[in-house]
Amino acid sequence: MEAAVVDAGSKLLKAGPAIPDQSPSMIIPTQMKRVLEEGSVNESSLSEDITVDPVVRGYIRDWDAMEDLLHHVLYTGLGWEIGNEGQILFTDPLSTPKAVREQLVQLMFEMFNISGFYASEQAVLSLYAVGRISGCTVDIGHGKIDIAPVIEGAVHHIASRRFEIGGVDLTKLLAQELGKSNPFVNISMSDVEKIKERYSCCAEDELAYGKLESSCQTEKHTLPDGQVITIGRERYTVGEALFQPSILGLEAHGIVEQLVRSISAVSSDNHRQLLENTVLCGGTASMTGFEERFQKEAGLCSSAIRPALVKPPEYMPENLTMYSAWVGGAILAKVVFPQNQHVTKADYDENGPSVVHRKCF
């Protein structure tokens, strides 16, 4: 049985057997609906769904919900059989707290009785997916942005940067902008999310974005309830906020300058290798025009060496940006489990959860 690879993000969970040149067999929402026990339903709960987020800003926060979610993924989705559980590799967000790693390995061995465990950082795995062991990842997730220099397969943590903003904050921004241009229409956040995914794009540069105020074409969009809204300049605001964070009310440099400043904290001997092997990850990075804008901003940045994006190999699945960490995990699983580099049940029984820090880098 192939090892399972699980990449649990704040919005989507990607899972599947470790087959590197295929897409993950499961891509499902991480958010869950909580079913109340019989007799606990009250009037307020009848009128609204009760949802729970097992993963918040990239880290597991609700362990009971995570256990339920993994049970569904492994036994229903991937077809594991109780009593015949296999090996599993998890992707770790940047700078995952030690306590979270320990609790995860404890959950997997004690509640799921797995035969082997491994975890590796998403930045390293995303580079593996494009055939690199050194470079820098810019991961724009649902709940966070991680910038991580990687040298010879190891994250340079001192130079890494994490920002507690992401796709969810851009959705809220779009909701505000749509509210201004469509003041008499009530748009749900789930509808705003769909509008963002369908219409959002990046302006060619800051000057072009400024000109959109008076010259942007508008489109009509019909909501599920039949109401019609107008979408114009708002579609560009989402992408622009990544290059001009002041749009989000933040006093910070744009994403390309943040990348350059991150790498400046690494030895200058590695600057070229890191900047010229930059990988974009996360759903937001697949926005129309984002790569082109990123490369244009790279040509204007303060660094003598300009960031250059790595293109994924042709044999890799389409939309690799969306799940590059999962693909990298599938590649790594083909190495660590056959070569017995993983945490075994015997390792866990002998050393406890802390063994994960010694065996998983």
Burial class of residue 77, CB neighbours in 10 A (0-12, 13-18, 19+): middle
* Tens-digit pLDDT profile for residues 131-145: 999 999 999 999 999
With beta carbons less than 8 A apart as the criterion, state whether 100 and 54 touch. Answer: no
How far, in Å, CA of 26 to CA of 282, rounded? Answer: 17
* Tens-digit pLDDT profile for residues 336-347: 999 999 999 999
* Tens-digit pLDDT profile for residues 111-165: 999 999 999 999 999 999 999 999 999 999 999 999 999 999 999 999 999 998 9
Q: Which CATH architecture has domain 167-246?
A: Alpha-Beta Complex (3.90)
With tokens 């008076």, the residue in question is 214
* Tens-digit pLDDT profile for residues 58-109: 999 999 999 999 999 999 999 999 999 999 999 999 999 999 999 999 999 9
With tokens 């790595």, the residue in question is 310
Q: Which two tokens stand for residue 168?
A: 């969810």
With tokens 């992707």, the residue in question is 91
Q: Which of 198, 121, 193, 203 has its CA nearest to residue 162?
A: 121
How far, in Å, CA of 103 to CA of 122, rounded? Answer: 18
Q: What DSSP letter does each residue of 303-348 carry, written as one string?
A: -SSPP-BPPPPTTSPTTGGGSHHHHHHHHHHHHHTTTT-SEEHHHH
Let me know the angle formed at the C-alpha of 265 by 202 and 242, rounded to the nearest 5 degrees: 15
Indicate the DSSP class of residue 201. Answer: B
Give the model's confidence band at 320: pLDDT under 50 very low, under 70 low, under 90 confident, else very high.
confident
pLDDT at 46: 42
pLDDT at 207: 92
Terminal-to-terminal C-alpha distance of the chain: 24
With beta carbons less than 8 A apart as the criterion, state whether 95 and 158 touch. Answer: no
Q: What percent of the chain has pLDDT over 90?
A: 84
Judge whether residue 214 has pLDDT over 90: no
Judge whether residue 302 has pLDDT over 80: no
Report the chain's mean pLDDT, rounded to a whole number: 92
Domain residues of the chain, as ranges?
4-122+318-359, 167-246
With tokens 């060619």, the residue in question is 204
With beta carbons less than 8 A apart as the criterion, state whether 123 and 152 touch. Answer: no
Say how many C-beta atoms besides its own lie within 10 A of residue 312's C-beta.
Answer: 17
pLDDT at 45: 44
Give the model's confidence band at 44: pLDDT under 50 very low, under 70 low, under 90 confident, else very high.
very low
pLDDT at 37: 58
With beta carbons less than 8 A apart as the criterion, state whether 266 and 156 touch. Answer: yes
Q: What pairing do the DSSP bridges indicate for beta strands 135-140 and 116-121?
A: unpaired
With beta carbons less than 8 A apart as the criterion, state whether 172 and 208 touch. Answer: no
How far, in Å, CA of 166 to CA of 163, rounded? Answer: 8
- For domain 4-122+318-359, give the fold: Nucleotidyltransferase; domain 5 (3.30.420)
Calculate mean pLDDT across residues 260-283: 94
Taking the alpha carbons of 334, 339, 345, 351 in that order, is the dihedral positive or negative?
negative
* Three-state secondary structure call for residue 288: strand
With tokens 């109780």, the residue in question is 82
CA distances from 276 to 131, 173, 298, 355 (A): 14, 32, 11, 35
pLDDT at 314: 84
Comparing 42-46, 195-199, 293-297, the range with the smallest average pLDDT is 42-46
* Tens-digit pLDDT profile for residues 233-265: 999 999 999 999 999 999 999 999 999 999 999
Judge whether residue 40 has pLDDT over 90: no
With beta carbons less than 8 A apart as the criterion, state whether 23 and 317 touch. Answer: yes
pLDDT at 70: 97
Judge whether residue 312 has pLDDT over 90: no
pLDDT at 301: 83
pLDDT at 215: 79
pLDDT at 132: 96
- Please state the pTM of the whole predicted model: 0.93
How far, in Å, CA of 143 to CA of 53, rounded? Answer: 12
With tokens 């820090």, the residue in question is 357
Judge whether residue 30 has pLDDT over 80: yes
